[in-house]
Amino acid sequence: MNSKTLKALEYHKIKEMLIEEAVSQMGKEQLSKMMPDIHINRVREKLSETSEASSLLSAKGRAPLNQLYDNRASIYRAEKGGSLIPKQLLEILYNLRTTKEVKNYIKEDEALDTGIIRGLMSALITNRNLEDEIDRCIVSENEIADAASTDLKNIRRKISSQNEAIKSKLNSIVTSSANKEMLQDALVTVRKDRYVIPVKQEYRSKFGGIIHDQSSTGATLFIEPMSIVNMNNELKELYLKEEKEIERILVALSNMIAENSEALLANQEILVKLDCIFAKGKLSNKMKGIEPKLNERGYIRINQGRHPLLDKKVVVPTNIKLGDDFDTLVITGPNTGGKTVTLKTVGLFILMTQSGLHIPAEYGTEMGIFKKVFADIGDEQSIEQSLSTFSAHMTNIVDIMKDADDQSAVFLDELGAGTDPTEGAALAMALLEYLYQKGVKTIATTHYTELKKYALVTEGVENASMEFDVKTLSPTFKLLIGVPGKSNAFEISQKLGLDSHIIDEARKLVENEHIAFEDVITSIEEDKREAETERDEAIQLKIQIKHLKEELESEKSKLKDQKEKVLQEAKEEARRIVKEAKAFTDEAYKKMTKIQSMADTKERNRDYEELRKSVRNEILKNAEGVKNIEVRNTKIPKDLRIGETVEVLTLGQKGEIVTLPDKNGDLTVQAGLMKINVNVKQLRKFEDESNSLPKGRTSLKNIYHGKTANISPQVDVRGQLLDEAIMNVDKYIDDAFLAGLKQAVIIHGKGEGILRAGIQDFLKSNRHVESYRTGGYSEGGEGATIIMIK
């Protein structure tokens, strides 16, 4: 990439922000060399790395990449047979621990889309043995642990013992009354690694021993008494043995480093790469960046883009497109309106994208891949605030014209400025036309009206402007594509208090055609602003309608669930009532059989009356229980007549109307032996008059005839649950018994045999069943059971 372009677009500041996010010096150095890539596959992979790091940081917090050390020199030294010092070994230990923590950062069962980072982390090689050995042997940068070896531990124990023996001997010398007068001080000190005693100069010959040093005045001599010379010699030998053992330990550890050098160097390279990737992820999260969609046709569409170097709290997002309907965009408008910022935003987004960095925009943003990017931006808006001449601008533009091609993006600020307006405008149009013919994607800013007109009439060239609020004399920093900008010089001057007479005179000096063109621009801006307001209102209305629809759908779903729940509860309640009624009926049948066998008529009648009362009470109780079950007929019967036959939905039985409905719709129905109070909503009317019975009570004979006419010789319970199937079979057998059937078929299907076994087990205890058997070959086989009814 062109170095002038990188500087003009302030790419170095983005790199500085990125470098701050790296934790290792090696990572910072690698990021400082970062440059935009021109190959789309590599760019796509780098962007994916950043996306994975951003997601991981959001989901799991900071990656365990602590301070990394550059161990290359130490490892190379070990490979050549050199011995490493404790400090170097500790730095290798720190990297080993970081390797282990990073490798465990992503758990195997975590469903995160992190293929690239997971692959790098899985390539890390841990070495628990080497890690433990260094940790066991090295205490600090200057100390080897006693436990590093048995010999070292023994040597240090002897050193400690020898030191104590020497100190004890010296202590007896300095505390002796015979030596008190000869000593300068009653203390023991060390000179040249030897224990000595400070002796007065005049007692030099009398005290005896080896002189190792004297005071600055010469009044004191530091003498090693002859009695401890051998002890000091032994101590010195022990220290030499300690040094030798330490050197042996360091060599052994260095050899282990050499044996694992390849893995250690590979780990370091991966950790540095991960440091760089997570630095990009952290920067993305800080600037709320997104991964843009890529293309190779030079198409740019930025959705709500924000310049990354401006305060995100105050910067106004902008929408920009280039390379589809038009390849050249001419931005006009007043100074300080944001033209240059827009120019830099697009250019910097290209450089960031091709460096694998996320850009601060919204999803839907798409960026083209450009092999060359050029920029000529006025220095007056750069950080350095230095001025530039027309010649300097043209020198840069000449180079751009030579090198730009159909895979280039060019950004020109204040094109044609700094010279005669007429010549400058003509030159600017010629430059834009030249770039357009070469297929270059170009964005240029200008004040020239001629360029606005050129963009209006030239295919492939589009106008854009930075919106300006004349009422407040302040820019809105919004880019309006398709609308040429207006300078607003007269309006701004009037607002600032310039005499209206002067402004009127100025207007007269401007060509009428120019004034008309500016008025057209003003009209277009007002219409566009009004259209945008109406569009925003429409979007808000659409959102509200969508929310309302979602609420209605939710309520509909809730009502459906409630309805199903109520129906289910009603069915459960009905099953419970039927089950209880059956149990009571069975018990009553047993009592009736017992009563009939009684010889004493009086006792038999008394027991019969008690049984009749208990049956009546049970009927009334069950009738009251089913009265409130929420079973509703969708078609409420009308024009009911006393004696008319209806179906009681809560019982699933036919009944005869005894009383007409009251004002609440409640009435009495005779269902067999039961008289029950129900609501008209719980009834269903039989439309077929041939099935209606005549007024008056239905005789038992008519009931039998009805049953015989309507009962089927078989019942099908396939697909039902066992409890439901047994209940339906039980009811069917009762009806079949009343109808006088002698044989019937229960169709339950084969399946796993659960339904067949459960039904046949139930038939064993049914009082109406004389016998049963599995169906024959032509009767359904194991999928049916044939019953003989008493």
Return the pLDDT at 693.
41
In a domain? residue 363: yes
Report the mean per-residue pLDDT for the chain: 82
Shared-domain flag, residues 24 and 155: no
CATH of the domain at 117: 1.10.1420.10
Task: Report residue 381's pLDDT band, with 50, 70 and 90 as the boundaries.
Answer: very low
Shared-domain flag, residues 214 and 86: no
Contact by Cβ (8 Å): 138, 90: yes
Shared-domain flag, residues 62 and 196: no
In a domain? residue 600: no
Is the pLDDT at 708 greater than 50? The verdict is no
Give the global pTM. Answer: 0.60
What's the pLDDT tens digit per position in 303-346?
999 999 988 787 888 899 999 989 999 998 766 667 888 999 99
The SS3 call for residue 277 is helix
In a domain? residue 378: yes
Return the pLDDT at 160.
92
In a domain? residue 515: no
d(CA 477, CA 475): 5
Which residue in this structure is represented by tokens 């010649």?
Answer: 391
Of 456, 480, 499, which marks where a domain is finished? 499
Q: The tokens of 420 are what?
A: 């005669």
Shared-domain flag, residues 396 and 483: yes
What's the pLDDT tens digit per position in 428-473?
899 999 999 999 999 999 888 788 888 888 899 998 887 766 565 5
The SS3 call for residue 195 is strand
In a domain? residue 377: yes
Of 439, 472, 499, which marks where a domain is finished? 499
Contact by Cβ (8 Å): 327, 460: yes
Go through 243-260 and write b for each residue having 16 or more CB atoms within 10 A of its CB, e for each that does not: eebbeebbeebbebbbeb
Shared-domain flag, residues 79 and 167: no
Return the pLDDT at 779.
78
- 198 or 585, which is more confident: 198
CATH of the domain at 351: 3.40.50.300
Length of the chain: 790
Beta bridge partners of 461: 328
Return the pLDDT at 408.
95
What's the pLDDT tens digit per position in 663-703?
888 888 887 656 778 888 888 887 544 444 444 444 444 44
Shared-domain flag, residues 229 and 279: no
Return the pLDDT at 362.
93
- 673 or 47, which is more confident: 47
In a domain? residue 557: no
In a domain? residue 623: no
CATH of the domain at 732: 3.30.1370.110
Domain that holds residue 87: 9-127+260-286
The SS3 call for residue 51 is helix
| SS3 annotation, 669-697 | EEECCEEEEEEHHHEEECCCHHHCCCCCC
Shared-domain flag, residues 318 and 423: yes
Shared-domain flag, residues 782 and 704: yes
Of 450, 465, 499, which marks where a domain is finished? 499
Shared-domain flag, residues 159 and 74: no
Shared-domain flag, residues 336 and 298: yes
Which residue in this structure is represented by tokens 């030998």?
Answer: 237
Shared-domain flag, residues 218 and 200: yes
Return the pLDDT at 510.
61
> For residue 381, which of 349, 343, 432 has the smallest C-alpha distance?
343
> For residue 625, which of 589, 580, 664 has the smallest C-alpha distance?
580
Return the pLDDT at 370.
96
231, HSE (Cβ side, Cα atoms, 13 Å): 18
In a domain? residue 765: yes
Return the pLDDT at 99.
93
Count of domains observed in the chain:
4
613, HSE (Cβ side, Cα atoms, 13 Å): 5
Shared-domain flag, residues 118 and 54: yes
Least confident of 50-64, 625-639, 763-777: 625-639
